[in-house]
Amino acid sequence: MELIKSLIQKNERKIVFVVLDGLGGLPVNGRTELEAANKPGLDKLARISACGLHMPVFPGITPGSGPGHLSLFGYDPVRYQIGRGVLESLGLGVELTRRDIAIRANYATLKDGLIVDRRAGRIPTSQSAKITEYLSENIKEIEGVEVIFKPGMEHRFAIVLRFPEALKPGSDNIEDTDPQKEGREPLPVRASSVEAEGVAEIIKKLLDRILFYLKNRETANYVLLRGISMVPELPDFGSTYGLRPICIATYPMYRGLARLIGMNLLDVKGDIPEEIDALKKYYDRYDFFFVHIKKVDSYGEDGDFEGKVKKIEEFDKYLPEILALRPDVLVITGDHSTPSLLRSHSWHPVPVLLYSPYVLGGLSSSFTERECAKGELGIFPTVYLMSLVLANSLKLKKFGA
């Protein structure tokens, strides 16, 4: 990234970077979702684009959404790791800074000092939310540290501790309190390095306060804390690459990720049509457009092959509206694969299509996993996609004389 930063030459060229979340798939009855989809626009575009497959981490590694996106934006996903507490909080719509400690919390049931149910009977979301709101009303701060509660699904919720000042690296080295098995005592809040001791003390006091308010409950009378983490120090996307970036995404987690790397945000509600509208509306004001389309992944996670196919087909119908903007570089890809066959993220490399005036083209006959494998980009680490994008927008100077 430092080498790239040193080679940046700004220009007016515009980049549209579309992420169809969980795009890659696997064959079911011989065809992947991309192969089954009727998508003449994408197929035509693939024939004149540079195609390939990219690997978010390294072969065989299935990425979460955090590493998947960091990699797409050129950040080494092994070097820059985003904790689970941070990801959960971003997903629940809390914007985080270096002043924050984010915690993934969940209700559990304690009896005679032992955890008898780690999920408090998967307590319904509505009921869980009521408890969380109650805590939120009663606990606003601990020793000058602001406390933010955010209800989540079922037994889950998030806690963010907002300190008066930016925290030192390592302040989040605090162990989970979940004993992982029922019939055991919850683990104590414990710093695993000296830098985290101050934060651990605050969390201990917070837990005591929480338990005070839960003490008369039969179930959901304990809270387990996991993934205690702070946002990593990430280089600013816009200043690193000399771009004015904007994130067009409907899900809070992706907006949160984009915010972490300093992208501007649009608070778009809806799905593909609303996102394309936003792209058109703001096209003059920015030069890098991260358009995130979530539902492709959602259908994959549900094992809904047809649903994923239909979502890809729906995107294809909006493709002409993107092309009508005449972006200098257009990328269409995913952050990872989510084959409906597996009902989950997978390790398979992700199809990518890069359209610019400076490609060979002609190597892939359609936009599918197998055709992308024949493309001029080959199979490459995702982390290099941004340098390819910048090169194709003529924003990179020559390296060396």
**Which of 12, 29, 60, 143 touches a copy of itself by CB under 8 A?**
60
Q: Which residues fall within 8 angstroms of residue 251, CB to CB, at 6 or more apart?
A: 91, 292, 294
In the numeric block, which tokens belong to residue 18?
């579309």
Residue 329 CB, nearest approach to a copy of itself (Å): 11
399 counts as binding a copy of itself under rule CB under 8 A: yes
227 counts as binding a copy of itself under rule CB under 8 A: yes
Q: Which residues fall within 8 angstroms of residue 266, CB to CB, at 6 or more apart?
A: 246, 247, 248, 278, 282
d(CA 136, CA 300): 35
Nearer to a copy of itself, 78 or 211 (CB): 78
d(CA 186, CA 209): 16
Q: Which residues fall within 8 angstroms of residue 210, CB to CB, at 6 or more apart?
A: 135, 139, 223
62 counts as binding a copy of itself under rule CB under 8 A: yes
**Which of 44, 84, 190, 205 touches a copy of itself by CB under 8 A?**
84
In 112-194, which ranges are E strands? Answer: 114-117, 141-142, 145-151, 156-162
207 counts as binding a copy of itself under rule CB under 8 A: no
3 counts as binding a copy of itself under rule CB under 8 A: yes
Residue 12 · residue 287 · CB < 8 Å: yes
Does an H or E element contain 222, and which? strand 222-229
153 counts as binding a copy of itself under rule CB under 8 A: no
d(CA 13, CA 233): 28
d(CA 161, CA 105): 12
Residue 382 CB, nearest approach to a copy of itself (Å): 11
Pairing outcome for strands 350-355 and 329-333: antiparallel
Backbone φ and ψ for 20, nearest 5 degrees, come out as: -90, 100
d(CA 345, CA 359): 30
Quick one: which segment of 95-103, 266-274, 283-291, 339-347 binds a copy of itself (CB under 8 A)?
Answer: 339-347
**Which of 65, 338, 340, 366 touches a copy of itself by CB under 8 A?**
65
Nearer to a copy of itself, 172 or 275 (CB): 172
**Which of 33, 49, 66, 334 touches a copy of itself by CB under 8 A?**
66
347 counts as binding a copy of itself under rule CB under 8 A: yes
161 counts as binding a copy of itself under rule CB under 8 A: no
* Site for a copy of itself, residues 370 to 389, rule: CB under 8 A: 370, 373-380, 384-389
| 292 exposure class (CB count in 10 Å sphere: 0-12, 13-18, 19+) | buried
**Which of 58, 79, 130, 306 touches a copy of itself by CB under 8 A?**
58
Q: Which residue has the tokens 């994130």?
A: 247
334 counts as binding a copy of itself under rule CB under 8 A: no
| Closest-CA residue to 341 (of 78, 127, 65, 36) | 36
Quick one: which segment of 60-68, 162-170, 258-266, 286-294 binds a copy of itself (CB under 8 A)?
Answer: 60-68
Nearer to a copy of itself, 319 or 385 (CB): 385
**Which of 18, 22, 63, 353 touches a copy of itself by CB under 8 A?**
63
81 counts as binding a copy of itself under rule CB under 8 A: yes
228 counts as binding a copy of itself under rule CB under 8 A: no
Binding-site ranges for a copy of itself (CB under 8 A):
3-4, 7, 26-27, 32, 53, 57-67, 77-78, 81-84, 87-88, 227, 339, 341-342, 344-349, 358-363, 369-370, 373-380, 384-392, 396-401
